[in-house]
C-alpha cells in the first residue's frame, strides 16, 4: 500500500495568494487608481472619508458620472458626442426660463427637457449615420448650434430661476440616522448606472453596440442594423446629458456656463475607464469609475494648492495617457 505524503504546509497559503492575485488582476485598473487617489486625499484631509463629506463629494461627481455613463455607449459604438456639454447648459438655461421659479412647472418641464435631449441625440445620430458626416464634426456643429441658440435666447445672461422642487434633485437628499443626508443625486446616479450597465452588458442591444463599434462590417453582415444602433447610442447620450443638467442645475444654480468643458471631461472619464476610442471596448462601470477618479484628481489638486488652471492640462494628459495605455492593452490582447 502506497502512502501519499501530505502537501507542504506552505501550499495552501501559496494557492490563496495566487487566487487573490488572479482576482486582483481581474479588477479593472481604474478602480485601483481610484482607490489610490482617495487614499491620498484622505492622507491630506482625513475628514474626507467621513460619511457627510464623502457623500457630498459623490453628489458633486454625479452629473459627470451620469454624462460618462451615456457617453460610453457612443464611444463603444465607434463615435463621439461633443455636444453634451452645450446640451447640459441648454437644459439649465431653458429650465430656468420656462420654470421661472414656479414649482408647478417642474413636472411637465422635466419630460419636455428629456424629449429635447432625445431629439438632439436623434439628430446627431441621423446626421452621422444617414448623411455620413463624421460624428466629431456633426456633434461639434451641434455644440455650436446649441451654444448659439442659448446665447440668442438668453441674451448672454440667463433669465428666470429654478424652482425649489427642481433643484432638490441636485441639492437635497434623504435623511438617514447616523449617516446624515443621502443625496438624491447619488440615488439617481446609482439607478441610472445600474440600468445602463444592465442595458449594455445583459441585453441584445448592448451586444450590438459592441459589435457596431468593434467591427461594423461584420456586424452588418450578421444582421445588426449598425446605423440604428449608433443612432440609439446618441439618443442615450442625449438623455444622460439632460439628467446631468438637472442635477448640475440643482447643485450650482443658473449659469450660462453650466456645462462648459463637460464634453471633454466625459470623454476623459470614459477613456480613463479603459474604453478604446476606435470603439468595441468599454463598460459602464469603468466609465463611472473614470468619472469618480477624474473628480478625485481635481479634489487632490485643490488640496495640494495647485492652480485651478492646471485642471485642463491634467485632463489632457489623462486623456493622452489613458488612450495610449488602452491602445497598448489592445495590441497585447490582439
pTM of the model: 0.90
Q: Which residue has the higher pLDDT, 314 or 107?
A: 107
Q: What is the dihedral of CA 127, 149, 84, 168, to 10 degrees?
A: -140
pLDDT at 151: 85
Kindly state the average pLDDT of the residues 206-223: 93
pLDDT in tens, 120-173: 999 999 999 999 999 999 999 999 999 999 888 877 777 888 888 888 998 888
Kindly state the average pLDDT of the residues 227-255: 93
Predicted confidence band of residue 100 (pLDDT cuts 50, 70, 90)? confident
C-alpha cell recorded at residue 43: 492622507
Model confidence at 334: pLDDT above 60: no
Q: Which residue has the higher pLDDT, 108 or 256?
A: 108
- For strand 180-183 and strand 173-176, is the pairing parallel, antiparallel, or unpaired? antiparallel
Average pLDDT, the chain: 87
Model confidence at 41: pLDDT above 80: yes
User: What's the CA angle centered on 78, arms 311 and 235, to 5 degrees?
Assistant: 85
Domain architecture of the chain: domains with CATH: 48-332 (1.10.3470)
Model confidence at 66: pLDDT above 80: yes
Predicted confidence band of residue 16 (pLDDT cuts 50, 70, 90)? low
Q: Which residue has the higher pLDDT, 286 or 327?
A: 286
Model confidence at 219: pLDDT above 80: yes
Model confidence at 319: pLDDT above 90: no
- 143-to-64, 138, 156, 209 alpha-carbon distances in Å: 17, 9, 16, 24
Amino acid at each position: 500500500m502506497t502512502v501519499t505524503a501530505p502537501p507542504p504546509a506552505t501550499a495552501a497559503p501559496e494557492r490563496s495568494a495566487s487566487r487573490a492575485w488572479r482576482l486582483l488582476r481581474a479588477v479593472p485598473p481604474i478602480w485601483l487608481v481610484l482607490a489610490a487617489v482617495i487614499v491620498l486625499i484622505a492622507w491630506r484631509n482625513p475628514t474626507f472619508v467621513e460619511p457627510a463629506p464623502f457623500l457630498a463629494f459623490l453628489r458633486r461627481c454625479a452629473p459627470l458620472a451620469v454624462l460618462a455613463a451615456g457617453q460610453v455607449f457612443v464611444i463603444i459604438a465607434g463615435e463621439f458626442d461633443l455636444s453634451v456639454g452645450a446640451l447640459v447648459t441648454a437644459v439649465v438655461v431653458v429650465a430656468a426660463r420656462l420654470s421661472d421659479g414656479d414649482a408647478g412647472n417642474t413636472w411637465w418641464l422635466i419630460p419636455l427637457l428629456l424629449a429635447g435631449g432625445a431629439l438632439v441625440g436623434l439628430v446627431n445620430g441621423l446626421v452621422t449615420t444617414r448623411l455620413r458626416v463624421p460624428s466629431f464634426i456633426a456633434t461639434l456643429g451641434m455644440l455650436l448650434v446649441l451654444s448659439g441658440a442659448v446665447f440668442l435666447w438668453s441674451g448672454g445672461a440667463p433669465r428666470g430661476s429654478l424652482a425649489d422642487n427642481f433643484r432638490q434633485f441636485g441639492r437635497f437628499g434623504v435623511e438617514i440616522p447616523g449617516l446624515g443626508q443621502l443625496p438624491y443625486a447619488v440615488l439617481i446616479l446609482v439607478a441610472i448606472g445600474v440600468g445602463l450597465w444592465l442595458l449594455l452588458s445583459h441585453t441584445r442591444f448592448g451586444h450590438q453596440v459592441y459589435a457596431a463599434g468593434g467591427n461594423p462590417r461584420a456586424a452588418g453582415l450578421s444582421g445588426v442594423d449598425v446605423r440604428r444602433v449608433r443612432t440609439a447610442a446618441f439618443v442615450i447620450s442625449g438623455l444622460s446629458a439632460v439628467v446631468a443638467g438637472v442635477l448640475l442645475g440643482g447643485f450650482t444654480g443658473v449659469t450660462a456656463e453650466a456645462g462648459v468643458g463637460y464634453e471633454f471631461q466625459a470623454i476623459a472619464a470614459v477613456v480613463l475607464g479603459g474604453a478604446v476610442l476606435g470603439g468595441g471596448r468599454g463598460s459602464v462601470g469603468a466609465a463611472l469609475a473614470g468619472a469618480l477618479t477624474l473628480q478625485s484628481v481635481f479634489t487632490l489638486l485643490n488640496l495640494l494648492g495647485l492652480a485651478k488652471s492646471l485642471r485642463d492640462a491634467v485632463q489632457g494628459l489623462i486623456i493622452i495617457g489613458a488612450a495610449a495605455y488602452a491602445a497598448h492593452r489592445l495590441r497585447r490582447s490582439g
